[in-house]
Structure 1
Amino acid sequence: MTTFTNNWEFWLDENISPIISKWLMDEIKIKCISFHLLTLNQTPDLEVYHLARNKKKVIIISKDEDYRELVAWKGAPPKLIAIKFGNCPSRLFWEKLKTEIYDAIDKLIYGDLDIFDIK
């Protein structure tokens, strides 16, 4: 396992179960917070983008195409893990995310990629 710096955070969009943040934090040892805990679940995407941008080292995990457009148009930070697969139970979602998360981290935190797709 790669050792990651702890100053990065993952923010999970409101359409992703908050249990994923716990499983993700247990797996990768980086702070993971759901929009629900951040009280951002009713916040417009542009405002969330600006909050994450001001925080600097944030990676948003979302199925929402608006974040892709914001990062592509306005740039990073924040960085984005774009979920491209459809709705599924939390356990299946976690299995799909877990298979790609280390590659995503390597490319987003240590590489020069701003958006990583998980299909």
Structure 2
Amino acid sequence: MKLLIDQNLSHRLVKPLQEQFPGTEQVRRLGLTDRRDTTIWEHARQHNFVILTQDEDFFDLSALRGAPPKVILLRTGNLPSVEVLELLRSHLLMIYTLLAPESEVNCLELT
């Protein structure tokens, strides 16, 4: 499972997340910064990404369109990157289980 980190989260998350989520990227690094959410959604769908975001619009897209892609929605407010990493690592089992391809969960909210 690889993550597509939305522009509202730091590109500095890419490297430390590679071990748990190989192939992870960030929208700025892919030149998708000025794109609409639906364009980012479609890119994630075509390239088998799970979207990592704080943007509730992706939650809405998930409810409307279903998966793929699946979404991890952080409902934490702004956190330093190190705390985002800690949050994700502390929920690894749940992330892997609930966002596995065979799971019917489309959006996982973390607080």
Q: TM-score, normalised by structure 2?
A: 0.90
Name stretches of at least 5 consecutive residues in structure 2 with no aligned partner. none
CA RMSD, Structure 1 to Structure 2 (Å):
1.4
Name stretches of at least 5 consecutive residues in structure 1 with no aligned partner. 1-7
Alpha-carbon deviation of 1:29?
Answer: 4.6
Structure (1/2) with the larger helix percentage? 1
Alpha-carbon deviation of 1:91?
Answer: 1.1
Q: TM-score, normalised by structure 1?
A: 0.84
The C-alpha deviation readout for 1:85-115, integer Å capped at 9, x for no partner, is 0112111121112111331121111522111
Other-structure match for 1:89: 80
- The alpha-carbon distance between structure 1 residues 87 and 29, as it changes in their structure 2 partners (threshold 3 A), is closer
- RCO higher in structure (CA 8 A, sep ≥6): 2
Other-structure match for 1:5: none
Which 4+ stretches in 1 moved above 3 angstroms?
none
| Alignment of structure 1 residues 99-118 onto 2, 5 Å | 99-109=90-100, 110-118=102-110
**What is the percent sequence identity of the aligned residues?**
26
The C-alpha deviation readout for 1:42-63, integer Å capped at 9, x for no partner, is 11101111222233x2200000
* 2:50 alignment partner, one of 24, 43, 59: 59
What number of residue pairs does the alignment pair up? 110
| Alignment of structure 1 residues 68-79 onto 2, 5 Å | 68-79=59-70
* 2:33 alignment partner, one of 41, 56, 67: 41
